[in-house]
Amino acid sequence: MLLKPATEDFRAIGYALGRVVLVVAAAGLVPLTWAILQREWKPLGGIVLMIGLAALFGASSELLRPEKSKLSWSHGMVVVALTWLVIPALGSIPLWLSGHFGRYLDAYFDAMSGLTTTGLSLLQDVDHLAESLNIWRHTLQFLGGQGIVLAALTFFAGSGILSLYHGEGRDDQIFPSVTSTARFIWTVSLVHGVVGVAVLTTEGILQLGFEPQRAFFHAINVFMAAFDTGGFTSMSSSIAYYGSAVFEATAAVLMLAGALSFGLHHALWRRTQGLLRNLEIRTILTTFAGTLTLTLLGLAIAGTYSDTASLTRRGFFQALSAHTGTGFSSVPTAELARWGGLTFIGISIAMALGGMASSTAGGVKSLRVGLTFASLVDTVREALLPERSVIATTFHQTRRQVLTQRLAKSVMAISLLYVATYLGGAAVGLAYGYPLTDALFESVSASAAVGLSVGVTQPGMPAVLEAVMVAQMWLGRLEFIAAFSLLGFFISWMVGE
């Protein structure tokens, strides 16, 4: 029998949601400051409206303060799922008011794409978008990549909503307390931010001939998009705009850093012995080598690039961009759409697999891929060995662990859900008349939070397909669990007793 949620349940959820939404009010100060410094008065109204609504939402949640301060696990999941729907609605306000979107859904799509670190965009004429709004799009990516809940836990929320932490697809707890773990995650990001922005700004000034302020603007945006594997850029030609191998290489280091789990960052900062025994590292190195080879082979067979340097630069960057889930493109969309055959397969598989668990990347994630493969090997061994044989499969992930049936089952279930989401989105694209390859590519790109596009995502695309892609981005970023909890809560509310 399903239990109908009580008023106290709604109060607990509403209160926690309000606390988390306060993050938008705080984050909105970044574009607000930029707009004031740059004297961009036109977008100011939209930014102020967003901050005001977020602050009002957050403050009014005080009225709902529940008697019990601790939020249950399932309620925490519901809050996370709602947070990732409400924040794009607020975050899209200044974008929508900018006049750069054909309809409101496009602005919501962009805010969701930013927050989930996907990077697909329906923005028209991004080259002439106000700097403050570009900063806001990239701040959304940064927030989403770091984890909104993580930000809320750090700055606003008390211990009562610590149960939200795991709802954002984070399984690692590097330190005994979530607060210490959050502090470490922010430290890693800050270090990469300071160094990354400094290097990119210097390159912008010295190599690209930008004015210091312009170089800083581009550097900060590229950092946020690369480290949080987002893929937005402030120019319509993406990373190709800079036309610099050194700039691309710097972005590549940040993309790699973003796709590493924060647990691995912790290990890299302290010791490196034994890291190659780690199942996730082995898996990602193997799958990256495989998908990169397919990409290079496809491009060579098609004769797209005839010299080694061009082939390496384009193939390597695109394969890395796909595998880390960043979505930066060093080739124009029209050219990417012509990358058929083996290259299409290589890039699509790289996107579908994604980066490491508990990183800012999306996709199935390397740990699940490695464990799925280990489970399959287990099944084959079971079939080949005598009936009474006892098989205990272990794997190395931080420490030696046993691959239990329960773990294998949950890994398989999530992996299958990703595949189903990829295929489901492709089916909708097909129904709208897009070629199978284009529909599948775009569907994988949205669900795995990558952001590479072969041209399906563009202003004026069918609204239903657009809404489906919004749902794919949301489901993929939350890794399904929180979304199922929300669905379960809704069903209990409707039919429970």
In the complex, the residues that contact another protein under the rule CB under 8 A are 187-188, 190-192, 195, 249, 252-253, 256-257, 260, 265, 268-270, 272, 288-289, 292-293, 296-297, 300-301, 306-309, 311-312, 315-316, 320
132 vs 189, which CB is nearer to another protein? 189
Query: Are 167 and 76 contacting, i.e. CB atoms less than 8 angstroms apart?
Result: yes
Cα separation, 84 vs 321, whole angstroms: 24
As measured in angstroms, the least distance from the Cβ of 257 to another protein is: 5
Give the single-character DSSP code of 70. P
- The answer to whether the CB of 121 falls within 8 A of the CB of 89 is no
Q: Return the number of the residue (308 or 458) whose C-beta is nearest another protein.
A: 308
List the one residue out of 364, 304, 365, 322 whose CA is nearest residue 453: 322
- What's the token pair of residue 404? 């239990």
Integer Cα distance of 202 and 187 in angstroms: 23
Q: Which of 33/308 has CB closer to another protein?
A: 308
Nearer to another protein, 11 or 313 (CB): 313
CB of 271 to another protein, least distance (A): 10
Task: Tell me the three state secondary structure of residue 402.
Answer: strand
Separation between Cα atoms, residue 393 and residue 414, nearest integer Å? 20
Q: How far is the CB of 283 from another protein (least distance, A)?
A: 15
User: CB 238 → another protein: shortest distance, Å?
Assistant: 19
Q: Which is nearer to another protein, 2 or 191 (CB)?
A: 191
Nearer to another protein, 39 or 270 (CB): 270
> What sign does the dihedral 161-262-172-361 (CA atoms) show?
positive
Of 260 and 428, nearer to another protein (C-beta) is 260
Distance CA 293, CA 76 (A): 42
CA 131-134-139 angle, to 5 degrees, is 125
CB of 187 to another protein, least distance (A): 5
Give the nearer residue to another protein in terms of CB position, either 257 or 428. 257
Phi, psi of 189 (to 5 degrees): -65, -40
CB of 289 to another protein, least distance (A): 8
Rg (CA), the chain: 22
CB of 178 to another protein, least distance (A): 18
Which residue matches tokens 């495989």?
A: 290
CA distance 66 to 69: 6
Looking at the DSSP bridge assignments, the partners of residue 61 are: none
Contact in structure between 438 and 420 (CB atoms under 8 Å) = no
Closest contact distance (angstroms) between CB of 260 and another protein is: 8
CA distance 341 to 330: 19
CA distance 376 to 117: 31
The CB-of-160 to another protein minimum distance in angstroms stands at: 24
Nearer to another protein, 184 or 484 (CB): 184
Which two tokens mark 45? 């109204």
Tell me how far, at minimum, the Cβ of 242 lies from another protein, in Å. Answer: 17
For residue 394, list its beta bridge partners. Answer: 402
- Decide whether 361 or 456 has the Cβ nearer to another protein: 361
Q: Whole-angstrom Cα distance, residue 121 to residue 225?
A: 13
- The upper half-sphere exposure of residue 210, i.e. CA atoms within 13 Å in the direction of its Cβ, equals 18
Neighbours of 113 (CB within 10 A): 31
Minimum distance from residue 301 beta carbon to another protein (Å): 6
Residue closer to another protein, measured from CB, 121 or 189: 189
Q: How far is the CB of 268 from another protein (least distance, A)?
A: 4
Q: Name the nearest CA neighbour of 354 among 392, 389, 327, 394.
A: 327
Q: With 0-12 CB in 10 A as exposed, 13-18 as middle and 19+ as buried, what is 176?
A: exposed
Nearest residue (CB) to another protein, 292 versus 374: 292
